[in-house]
Chains A and B, each alone.
Chain A
C-alpha cells in the first residue's frame, strides 16, 4: 500500500484524437518515477490530469487513497508541487514573493516562513541575496531553482516535474541534476519527473515508465528496459538515444 498516486483506466482525447489511451499507473511513495517517451506521446497530459489542469474523459485518479474530484482538487494541489520547463515564475513578482505566494495566500506571515525559505535556499544552493530579484533578472538555472523552491515551499507529498531541466545548457543541467537527486534523497521526496533524455531517466529513475502514442509500453528499471525490451519500439528508442549520446 505504498502507492501515493494511482491512475486507473485514465483516458483523454482532444477533438476525438486520443492523447492518452486508458492507462493505469502507480506512483510509489519516496521514489522517483520517470516518464519518458517521444514528443507528443502524452507525458504532459498525464501530469496535467494528476494536478487537475485537465479532466480525463474517463477513469479515476486517487491521491493518498482518495479520488481526485473538482471539489477536493484545490486542497490536494497544496499537497502537490509542480515545476514546468520554463519555470512558470510570475514576472511581476520577485523570486521571494513567487516562493512565498501560496504561503501568504494561506495566511502565513513572511517572518513565520523565513526559516523555511533559508532552508530551501540552502537545499537548492540558491544565494539568498538573489531573492529580491525579478525572474527576468535571473539566469535560466537560477529560475529553475526558484521554481523548485516554490514547489517545495509547503513540503508537498508529491512533486511533479515536467522537463524541469529541458531548457538548460549541459553544464547547468548536470549541476542541477546532481542537486535535484540529492534533494530527492534527503527529503525522501515522492516525485514524478518527465524527461526526453534516457541518461537523465537512468540517473534519477527508481522506476522508468516508457510511453509511446498515448500508451505505457514498458515500466521498470533501466536494466529491465535495456535487457528485456517489451517491444521493438523499446529497443529502437533505447538504441536511438544511445547513438545520440555517442555521436
Chain B
C-alpha cells in the first residue's frame, strides 16, 4: 500500500480541473488508487447516504499527494488516510506522536481527522497458523528462540529503512536463512513450507484466504498506520458526525475480509456493503450464478483470442508474403517473429504493461496475444508460397497474368492449406495463452484459474481450466471444418 502513492502524481492536473468545476452541493469523498482505499470510500459514501446526506465518491484519484491537494483545494471534502502517512508524507514531521499533536498540525490547513477506524495497516510478519501454534510463536520476539525458521521476505522489505535490517537488530534476530522472494510467490512458498515466515501488510486479503497468523509487534517496531478519515473542517456538521460514527468499527480481521471480497469480485460497493451486514461469512458466497460467470469468462476469452487472431491474420499474411520473397527483409521478418515467440508469454505481458499506451488492460493482453499469434501465420504463409513449384510460378508468369492476379488467383489459393494451418496453430496458441490475460486484469477463463491458484482451490481452477481446454478443442474442430470450405477441392484430392 505504501508503494503506489506517487504513481499517479503526474497525470492528474486535468482531472483536478474537471472536479474543481463541480463544487456544488453533494459531499465529495475521495479515495486513493488501491483496493482498501476504494472500499473505505464506499463505506463512507453509504454511511452518509444512509444519514440522508447526498454524497459522491471520486474513486481512485491517485496517490497521497494528489488526494491531499484535492482536499486542501476543496475539490473533495474527505478521504481515508493512514496516520503514518500523515506524519511522514503529508506533515513530514516525525516528532508528531500523539493524535492531538497531529490534529493540531492539520488544523492549520483547515483539515480535521477522525479517530482511528480500528485497524492498523502496516508491515507485519506472518506464519502458517499450524506451524506457529506448534512452536508456540505468538510475537516477533518469540522468533529469537527459533533461528532455524526460514525467513522469506519481499525485496522491498529487505531494502527498506524501516524493514528487515533494523527490525532484526531491534529484536536481536539472527535466523540461519533469509531469502528474497516475490510477494505472491511467497504465499505459495509459505504454504508448502519452503519458507516459514514472511512479510505482509497487516490487512492483506491473503492472510484470511490462507488462514495465516500475524505475529504481534510486541516492541512496537513498525510505525502505526492507523486508518482514519481526513475531512475539511468546513464540511457540514452532520457529515463530520457521520464519518466519526465509523471510528473503532473496523478491526483488522474485518478489513481483511472486505479487501478479500473486493479483490475477488472487483466490486467495491458490494465489499463495502458487507461492512453493514452481520452475516459476513455468507456474503462471500453471494453473487453471480456459475453459468452466468462462465458465460462472461468465456465470452471475454473469445474476444481476447479472437480479436488478437484477427489482427495477427491481417498483419501476418502480408508479412508472410514479403518474407516468402527472401532477402534481407524476408529474413528480418521471420527473425523478428521467431524472437517474439521465444519470449515467455508472461514476460511479454510484463514488458508491455509499462508502455504508455498499454498498462493494465485488455489492450495489453490483445497486443501480447497478437504478437504471439504472428509467427505461425507469417511462417506458414511464407513457406506455403515458397513451396509452390517453380514450374507453376513460371506457368502463371508465362500466361501473362499480372503480379496481383498471380498472387490472388494462383499463389495464395495454392498455399491456402499451409496458411490455414498456421492460422489454426495461432488460434489454439491464443486460446491457451489468453488464460494469462487474467494476470493483468483483462479477464477471461484465466480469472477462475488465477483465483483458484491464489486460494489453492482446485474446483475454482477447474472451472477455468476445463472450459479453456474445451474451447481449444472446439477451435481445432472448427478449423478442421473450415479447411473443407476454404481449401480448394483440387488441393484436397
Contact = CB atoms under 8 A, between A and B. Distances in A.
A181 B394 CA distance: 26
B351 interface: no
Of listed B391, B400, B402, residue having the most chain A CB within 10 A: B400
Given A105-B405, A137-B493, A91 B397 contact: no
A75 B401 CA distance: 10
B484 to A, nearest CB: 14
Say whether chain B's binding surface is mostly helix, strand, loop, or mixed. Answer: helix
B286 interface: no
A53 B491 CA distance: 26
B490 interface: yes
A135 B401 CA distance: 20
Contacts of A238: none
A221 B489 CA distance: 47
A75 B396 CA distance: 14
Interface stretch (B45-53, B379-387, B409-417): B409-417
A188 to B, nearest CB: 22
A134 B414 CA distance: 13
Interface string A33-65: 000000000000000100111000000000000
A236 B410 CA distance: 44
A186 interface: no
Contact of A84 (B395, B413, B489): B395
Interface in A91-105: 91-94, 101-102, 105
Contacts of A85: 391
A78 interface: yes
Nearest to B394: A53
A74 interface: yes
Nearest to A48: B394
Contact of B398 (A53, A91, A105): A53
A58 B490 CA distance: 41
Contacts of A78: 400
B400 A74 contact: yes
Contacts of A94: 490
A77 interface: yes
Interface in A76-127: 77-78, 80, 82, 84-86, 88-94, 101-102, 105
A90 B394 contact: no
Interface in A110-156: 134-137, 150
Nearest to B416: A92
B399 interface: yes
Of listed B392, B396, B398, B402, residue having the most chain A CB within 10 A: B398
B335 interface: no
B489 A91 contact: no
Contacts of B248: none
Nearest to A91: B490
Of listed B405, B409, B489, B490, residue having the most chain A CB within 10 A: B490
Contact of A90 (B392, B397, B416, B489): B392
A93 B395 CA distance: 14
A92 B391 contact: no
Given A53-B394, A88-B391, A88-B394, A77 B414 contact: no
B54 interface: no
A77 B400 contact: yes
Contacts of A92: 413-414, 416, 488-491
A84 B493 contact: no
Nearest to B488: A92
Interface in B473-493: 488-491, 493
Given A53-B397, A101-B409, A91 B491 contact: yes
A74 B395 contact: no
B391 A84 contact: yes
Nearest to B403: A74
A51 B416 CA distance: 29
Of listed A51, A88, A150, residue having the most chain B CB within 10 A: A88
Contacts of B401: 101-102, 105
B389 to A, nearest CB: 8
B402 A74 contact: yes
A86 B405 CA distance: 22
25 contacts: A77-B397, A80-B398, A82-B398, A82-B399, A84-B395, A85-B391, A88-B392, A88-B394, A89-B395, A90-B392, A90-B410, A90-B414, A90-B490, A91-B491, A92-B414, A92-B416, A92-B489, A101-B399, A102-B399, A102-B401, A105-B401, A105-B402, A135-B490, A136-B490, A150-B399
Return the 3 tightest CB-CB contacts between A and B, nearest first. A88-B395, A134-B490, A77-B400
